[in-house]
Structure 1
């Protein structure tokens, strides 16, 4: 996880975690990867760049997402059930393709926070802000060892605050 350097990971800032916080994060944070599947922050990997629609060579047109979906779906469900059964989904939308999302949603309590900016009276997703908020919320959850989703209501970041908790968890600037 420490090898990643995108905006989400800059705001997560795992390098500033104490040893105890890193060990906790290693048990509770899943990092989606088209190449490696699901990673933990302390897993060692080589730098790479890969999209999910890349086809595996000599495998009849099977894409990375096709390959990973049946493996990762069961693994994720089992891992989250062994913890508390609640998945706070802060992955980018493209990463959902790594899982059978209908099955994940039916077997786990899934919370997918949204981060929007008010532009002329309309709430819109601005990708860079959403990435920053996803990283900052991941950091907040791990540093505070949040296990109660109701405590996510107190999360704020750079002006973003909770404005709607039902039917979705919506934060806006």
Structure 2
């Protein structure tokens, strides 16, 4: 079983807490993306990033000195979003960290597909960014089936805990029967309503729970009950597990 999650926009540098295992698998492709970004004007970059002036200035400075091979942070410690705070890899024990190595993969517009202890540097490039590189109209076309092909090696199941923006970069190239997507929501008027912040919290908490319990079977995933969520068998099927907050 492989687990896919999204990255986070906010990133930090931590070269001391845990060592990196190596470099990302698709570094040549990342180098081409970096070259494309460096060829753009500040105004073009800010339009691409859709960000404030201060965030644009920060990331333009990052581009000027970006080194893809030195001063790197393990990917799982580099992202600072809500999902990663609830996953809390910094306080995991060695068995739990090994579980992440074996099972977790992070999707990235810039790096493609990251193992949790691949060394990365702070960047800004969302998967849905309209960056034209190598004749591709956007990053989905640039990465194509490359990420899905790598993800599918050695596994028959992909547990999808990523946002739709990121998961579509791989699920479009995988057999439907191979992907199990988890949905975290609330029952409102007979409908399942997903709330962004709560979904991020639940995804991170589930990764932590999976690692703590060394889960490797889809049937065992239904036991997840953290943060008040309960598996709802009536709303679920073989390719979709629905967890309802406050459910019975």
Report if TM-score (shorter chain) is over 0.5: yes
Change (3 A) 1:103 1:97: closer
Alignment partner of 2:135: what SS? coil
Alignment partner of 2:192: what SS? strand
Task: For residue 61 of structure 1, report the CA deviation from its aligned partner.
Answer: 4.9
Give the number of aligned pairs. 166
- For structure 1, the residue ranges without an aligned partner over 5 or more in a row are none
Determine which structure has more spread, i.e. the larger CA radius of gyration. Answer: 2
Alpha-carbon separation, structure 2, partners of 1:103 and 1:71: 9
Task: For residue 121 of structure 1, report the CA deviation from its aligned partner.
Answer: 4.3
Task: For residue 75 of structure 1, report the CA deviation from its aligned partner.
Answer: 0.8
Mapping for residues 22-101 of structure 1, pairs under 5 Å: 22-52=97-127, 53-57=129-133, 59-78=134-153, 82-83=154-155, 85-99=156-170, 101=171
Would you identify which runs of 4 or more consecutive aligned residues in structure 1 move more than 4 Å?
none
Q: Give 1:16's aligned residue.
A: 91
Alpha-carbon separation, structure 1, partners of 2:142 and 2:190: 42
Q: Give 2:34's aligned residue.
A: none
Alpha-carbon separation, structure 1, partners of 2:126 and 2:216: 32
Change (3 A) 1:102 1:3: closer
- For structure 2, the residue ranges without an aligned partner over 5 or more in a row are 1-75
Alpha-carbon separation, structure 2, partners of 1:159 and 1:95: 26
